[in-house]
Amino acid sequence: MDSESGDIIFSGHEGLTCHQFIRAVRERALESGHQRDDEWMADYASIRFEGEALKWFESLEDDTQTSWKLLRRAILSHYEEPAYEASATQFPAKQATRSAFTFTGKDNAECQEFVREIRLRASEEGKENDAEWMIGRAYSCFAGDALKWHASLPMDVRTNWPRLEKAILVDYPFPPIITVSPACIRVEAWFTIVGPSASFRCIRTRQDWLDEATERRRMYQEVKDKSTPCWMLVETESDIPENALATGVDQSGKLFYSARAWHDNHGIIVGKCGKHMAGIYLLYANLSHHLGPYAT
């Protein structure tokens, strides 16, 4: 680290270990309010490489260079070292009421202590009912094997404190038992504005949406019980599943299916698709034809 500017520098085999570098990037993102911004974190990390690590970074595919989720996994795969040294003293976070702490996942006792510590800190800050705050507080605490485990979790577990808490206490060091959550939101009254579902709150870009949709498709393909309805990412009309739920018919009797896709700068827009149609038609202003990946 540069003593004057506080910049994080990663050279690969001298100075920071790969675990320290990943944790330091996370701490910077948390301090800047960008802990869920995949592109911001990738951009921030991209200018912190030097020497051999910079040559390695430049050899990566563009998709890996521009996605923190992919980049951190590549860093761990290429540079992982057996030992992890806490970086809290080298990269001090903002002063807090309680001292900094890390979670390495060495045993069940530490898992329980970590969850208890997050709950205590949330209570001290009056945030015991703020699941988003607790996710943010826990984000930069993972280290060593726990950091690798956290990085491998599905997005809907990493960004949802009740699910992450359960995964730490019940599933660690294994991934959570795969389930597909129903794609639904609670509607109290049809005449009031309804907020987005929890899975949407972490989606800021088209790449976020594709990552989430790809992960959901993977989960659906792996589960044995496929009775729970969920959105399925498809590339073309020929990929529409045989058990897709039809929501209408055209004049010739061919089936329509509900669909959604990330459209330009408007975010996720709903529309309709069919096995007899190329792409989908989005119900936004005038009907707009969309040929990219979509979910049905």
Q: For residue range 244-277, what is the model confidence (pLDDT) as tens digits?
A: 888 888 888 888 888 888 777 777 778 888 888 8
Residue 195, classed as helix, strand or coil, is: coil
Please report the pLDDT score of residue 25 as a whole number.
92
Residue keyed to tokens 């299916």? 257
Question: For residue 256, which of 241, 238, 270, 277 has the smallest C-alpha distance?
Answer: 277
Tokens linked to 90 = 């080298």
CA 41 to chain centre: 12
- Asked whether the beta carbons of 25 and 44 are under 8 A apart, the reply is yes
C-alpha distances in Å from residue 214, one per residue of 74, 87, 121, 219: 19, 33, 34, 9
- Asked whether the beta carbons of 93 and 87 are under 8 A apart, the reply is no
How far, in Å, CA of 119 to CA of 139, rounded? Answer: 14
Q: For residue range 83-121, what is the model confidence (pLDDT) as tens digits?
A: 333 333 344 444 434 456 789 988 888 999 899 889 988
How far, in Å, CA of 284 to CA of 269, rounded? Answer: 7
Residue keyed to tokens 């589960």? 223
The 8-class DSSP code of residue 284 comes to S
Q: How many residues in the chain?
A: 296
C-alpha distances in Å from residue 164, one per residue of 18, 154, 168, 205, 212: 24, 10, 6, 23, 16
- Asked whether the beta carbons of 188 and 210 are under 8 A apart, the reply is no
Please report the pLDDT score of residue 88 as a whole number.
37
Residue 295 reports pLDDT greater than 80: no
Tokens linked to 58 = 């430049």
* Mean pLDDT computed over every residue of the chain: 77
Residue 156 reports pLDDT greater than 90: no
Question: For residue 259, which of 215, 221, 290 has the smallest C-alpha distance?
Answer: 290
Q: How many CB atoms lie within 10 A of CB 14?
A: 11
Please report the pLDDT score of residue 68 as a whole number.
92
Tokens linked to 11 = 């050279």
pTM over 0.85: no
Residue keyed to tokens 């910049």? 7
